[in-house]
Amino acid sequence: MTFLNPVKSVIARGYFTALISIIIIFIASYLTTIPGSRSSLTDQAENNMLDLSQSYIKLLEARISAINNTAEYMNTDGDFYSCLIQGGEPSLITANLKSFIKDNPSYLSAAVYDKDGKFVTASEDSYLKDDNPYYVNAALSLKQPMQSDYIKAGDEHSIICAVPLINANTLFGCVAITVPVQSFTSELASVKLQNTESSFAYLLTPLGHFIYHPDSEYIGKITGEGIIRDMIEQRDVVSAVVHFNFEGEKIASLATSSTNGWTLVIQADKSELLQPVNHTAVKSIVICILIGIIVSVFAYLAIYVFLRPIALMTKEISSISSLNFTSTKEIDKLTREQTEIGTMAKEIKKMHDNIKNVISDLNTVTEKISSGSTDLSDIAASLTDCSSENSAVSEQLAAGMEHTTNTVNAIKRQVDTIKRRTEEINRQSSNTIQLSDTIMDRATSARQSARQSADTTRDMYSMVSVEARTALEQSKAVSKINDLTKNILDIADQTSLLALNANIEAAKSGNYGKGFAVVAKEISKLAEQSSETATNISSIITEVTTAVNNIDTCLTRTLEFMDVSVMKDYDNFTEISNTYHEDAESFQSTLEEITHSLKSLEGATNDIAMAITGMTETINDSSDGIVTIANRSGEIVTLSDNTYNQVKLNGEMSDTLQGIVDKFKL
């Protein structure tokens, strides 16, 4: 059908479908009706044959019964009784038999037998005088009339009817009447089935011999058809229809006489017998073909009238299914029809317009979603850049904090050194105090002797006093560490505050700020560690300051003691200067160790100052990084707001799309 346009294709398919349906219907009708009709007509023909056979067999029974009835008077005839019972003269019976034959000219002869079956007399001298013929014995034993098989009396085809003679229920003999077959089979020659020239009838004895046949050559012979002979020999078949092959297919109906067992057969050629059935079947086929042609023409017209609009609508639906929404004039014409087709066309037109509107709405929404997707892509790129910068800054902060940790560890080591040095100074100061006590004890007795070395002692005192005060002034620089430690704590507090703010901004950023929140959390931990470290430094500086203050107090007291007590009484030491020369050298050595310790303390203090300066720079760098992160967090918040707005817009577009989809009923 590829050469047809869609409309013609639909009409052609509909027509061929209807035509095939019609052909199938007629074939089904033929297969169901014609064979049934053929079988019914065949059964009817067979029943007619069977009825005809049964009718003629009844006619034969009536003829035989009439022959038997003609001999009934002999039952009461005294001559027959006296002759057969009392042994009377047979001549009287012979005369009666001749009179009987004369009265019935269709009969050929008659004979009488006694009750034992012995021949007594006959109407004809030429009659066969045998005793106990089988038909006589059968009649005597059964006490009912019996017929012989076919016999030939001269040139005449005959049978013998044996009638028992019974008087007062006493069997006293039997009479045998010879009858020509033609006398009771004359009607069989005219037996014909209607319009069946091949049909004819024939009569068979219980032994299968032909009593009558249209062809006299068969009379007296045994039938050669085995199926019929078998049915006759069964002796219990009253009537039947048989099919057999004998010079072609034959059909025969059989009817058996209940009186003497004769069987009448009516036979015909099957083809001729069923010829009316075949003619009827042919006529039925011709009529079916004519009706099929007429129905096909009307079907084509009806299909063209009814399917053309449907085909046009199918074409329109096919165009819609292939996403072709161009308008067609045929549908516009169909919508003006005031029929169901017109209503369907209007609905298809309405569907066409609705789908076009939906597609237009979808196009608009798609453009908006595409634009929103582009904006979201730009925002995502910006968020990626911000995240990259935050990652770099976080790495820098981590490195700075690591450097701060190392610096704090160095400070701790220097502070430990200061602590050890301070303990040494305390020990040496204690020795100095003990030595001073010894000197004071000795100075009491040698006051006068020390005067000579007063000038030297004063010079030494001046030098020691200047160096000691200088060292004390330098040791007071340790107190500045407290200020630096306080600054570190302030910076740690600010770092914690910045980390808190960063966490808040990260929380505002939603999913985009999760990574920054982790960085802010780590900065907060570093701030807490810095605070703890500064606290430890403050505790250590407090111990150092306490030790320095103790040194200051001891040195001050020593100088005051030397200025107030020693120097005033030193004149007394002059005299014994030699005695205390070794003590003075020991004292000088002690003071030199103190000076050396103070110089070491000064160096450690300088190292602490430098370390704290490095920490300050690192924390400043961390502060700058946190400021940068905070700025980036603000940008991330802005981008997150833009993303939220765009997502909200996409949600609205999604609702619009859902509204469009909801218009469809699935």
Averaged over 411-425, what is the pLDDT? 69
Q: Output the average pLDDT for the chain.
A: 75
In the chain, what percentage of residues exceed pLDDT 90?
7
CA atoms within 13 Å, Cβ hemisphere of 339: 8
Averaged over 545-571, what is the pLDDT? 66
Residue 63 has pLDDT above 80, yes or no: yes
Averaged over 465-494, what is the pLDDT? 67
Q: CA–CA separation, 270 vs 38, rounded Å? A: 13
Q: Determine the pLDDT at residue 2.
A: 39
Averaged over 138-155, what is the pLDDT? 85
Averaged over 155-182, what is the pLDDT? 90
Q: Please, is 562 exposed, middle or buried when counting C-beta atoms within 10 Å of its C-beta (0-12, 13-18, 19+)?
A: buried
Q: Determine the pLDDT at residue 110.
A: 93
Averaged over 611-618, what is the pLDDT? 69
Residue 186 · residue 109 · CB < 8 Å: no
Q: Determine the pLDDT at residue 364.
A: 79
Q: Determine the pLDDT at residue 561.
A: 67
Q: Which of 20-24, 321-325, 392-396, 634-638 has the highest mean pLDDT?
A: 20-24
Residue 188 has pLDDT above 70, yes or no: yes
pLDDT, tens digit (0-9, with 9 covering 90-100), for 559-603: 676 666 656 665 565 665 556 566 656 766 766 776 676 677 667
Q: Please, is 32 exposed, middle or buried when counting C-beta atoms within 10 Å of its C-beta (0-12, 13-18, 19+)?
A: exposed
Q: Which of 29-33, 273-277, 411-415, 573-577 has the highest mean pLDDT?
A: 273-277
pLDDT, tens digit (0-9, with 9 covering 90-100), for 377-393: 677 677 666 666 666 66
Q: Determine the pLDDT at residue 117.
A: 92
Averaged over 444-473, what is the pLDDT? 64
Which amino acid, one-letter code, is at 189? A
Q: Determine the pLDDT at residue 666.
A: 44
Averaged over 441-458, what is the pLDDT? 61
Residue 95 has pLDDT above 70, yes or no: yes
pTM above 0.75, yes or no: no
Averaged over 193-200, what is the pLDDT? 82
The CA-based angle 99-176-144, given to 5 degrees, is: 120
Contacts of 264 (CB under 8 A, 6+ apart): 53, 56, 57, 60, 188, 201, 202, 203, 204, 254, 255, 256, 257
Least confident span in 200-209, 347-356, 438-447, 553-562 = 438-447
Full DSSP string of 91-113: HHHHHHHHHHHHH-TT--EEEEE
Residue 475 has pLDDT above 70, yes or no: no
Q: Determine the pLDDT at residue 78.
A: 84
- Of residues 68 and 472, the one with the higher pLDDT is 68
Residue 189 has pLDDT above 50, yes or no: yes
Which amino acid, one-letter code, is at 515? G
Residue 326 has pLDDT above 80, yes or no: no
pLDDT, tens digit (0-9, with 9 covering 90-100), for 4-53: 455 566 567 666 777 787 788 767 766 666 666 667 777 888 888 888 88
Residue 290 has pLDDT above 60, yes or no: yes
Residue 84 has pLDDT above 90, yes or no: no
Q: Determine the pLDDT at residue 277.
A: 67
